Structure 1
Amino acid sequence: MAVSNVSFASQVEEWVRDTEKRMIAVFRTSASMVIAEMQLTNKQGGLNRIDLGTHLASLQVGINTPPQKAIKKAKDTTDRSFNMGAVDAIIAGAEIGDTIVASYGMAYSLRLEYGFEGTDSLGRSYHQPPYAFVRTAAQRWPQIVEKATEMAKARSAARNG
């Protein structure tokens, strides 16, 4: 009888460890999916806008850190590419209870998200509609978590099946 109790206890411990791993995987995958959706441009079926690359490349991701202050002009405009792999590498360090912060580093990005009506500091007039690419992706969090959960279940079934 003692042997079966030990076996049962170890099975429960293994199940708990596996469940924790799946929870972390769903959390990380969901965060990555939200950020990827934020970055989708209108030409890719998303809400974001294509610019010269500075806005899209200015996306910054951190764990338990406040967003960095937006800048008006890119300091170095030679590399205007976005790297989702770098984002995923940061997210890979996140644990349950952490806050993953994704923000755009260009002040122009705020105009794209919220819109801008009026004259800027250089005297140019704008009627910029809001594109709400960040807010819309964030509002889809429940659906994205559901999709990430299904993906985790499928991976688990494939390993165990």
Structure 2
Amino acid sequence: MGAFADQLSAWGKQTEARMEAIYRRSVKLLADEMATTKPQGGRVPFESGNLARSLVASTQGMPKTSTAPTAGATVGVVIATLKLEQPVWLGYQAIYARRQNYGFVGADKLGRVFNQQGAHFVEYAIEMWPIIVKLAAEDTQARAEGKIK
């Protein structure tokens, strides 16, 4: 896949401010992909919307799962303060996110038997990263040149 900077256009590489803007936009588009449900045209399974809403971002490490509503910073807040060389983690707080993504065959702790196929929405979002960076670079350049408001 290569380093982030290797994926940028010549325009994007000209200044650190441009690269940082493209990085932030790329992470935003990645988060959007990871929160887009099947009824919206994405890959995230939808029953109540809780899974997609449980997506959180962190610059400190992978977010932990939780049965309580999200208590940390939202994805937008983290992205808005993100620096170019700063790593970011996107993860779901819904405790069933892993099963929805990878699938599950067998009995759970309560003895219920499942044969659930995985949706693999996380892998798909990761696979889309090079395209997301390209789109973010094009969008950022178009906005900077006044072609998009």
SS in 2 for 1:127: strand
* Letter of the 2:21 counterpart: A
Q: Does 1:66 align with 2:61?
A: yes
- Partners of 1:106 and 1:38 in 2: CA distance: 13
Aligned to 1:94: 82
- Partners of 2:137 and 2:44 in 1: CA distance: 26
Q: Does 1:145 align with 2:102?
A: no
The TM-score, its normalising length taken from structure 1, stands at 0.75
Q: Does 1:124 align with 2:112?
A: yes
Runs of 4+ in structure 1 off by over 3 angstroms are none
- Structure 2 regions of 5+ residues with no counterpart? 1-10
Q: Does 1:30 align with 2:26?
A: yes
Aligned to 1:83: none
- Structure 1 regions of 5+ residues with no counterpart? 1-14, 80-85
Decide which of 63, 68, 79 is 1:75's aligned counterpart: 68
**Structure 1 segment 3-14 matched on structure 2, within 5 A:** none
Q: 1:68 offset after TM fit, Å?
A: 3.1
Q: 1:107 offset after TM fit, Å?
A: 2.2
Q: 1:51 offset after TM fit, Å?
A: 2.5
Encode CA deviations 1:25-60: one digit per residue, 9 max, x unaligned.
100000010110011111111110112233222212
Decide which of 21, 34, 50 is 2:17's aligned counterpart: 21
Q: 1:19 offset after TM fit, Å?
A: 1.9
Encode CA deviations 1:62-102: one digit per residue, 9 max, x unaligned.
11x1223323xx235xx9xxxxxx42221111111111111
- Partners of 1:19 and 1:152 in 2: CA distance: 13
Q: CA RMSD in A?
A: 2.2
* Letter of the 2:140 counterpart: A
- Partners of 2:89 and 2:97 in 1: CA distance: 16
2:36/2:52 contact within 8 Å kept: no
Decide which of 45, 50, 57 is 1:49's aligned counterpart: 45
- Report which of the two has the higher share of helix: 1
- Count of paired positions: 133
Larger Rg: 1
- Partners of 1:55 and 1:123 in 2: CA distance: 23
- Partners of 2:68 and 2:27 in 1: CA distance: 28
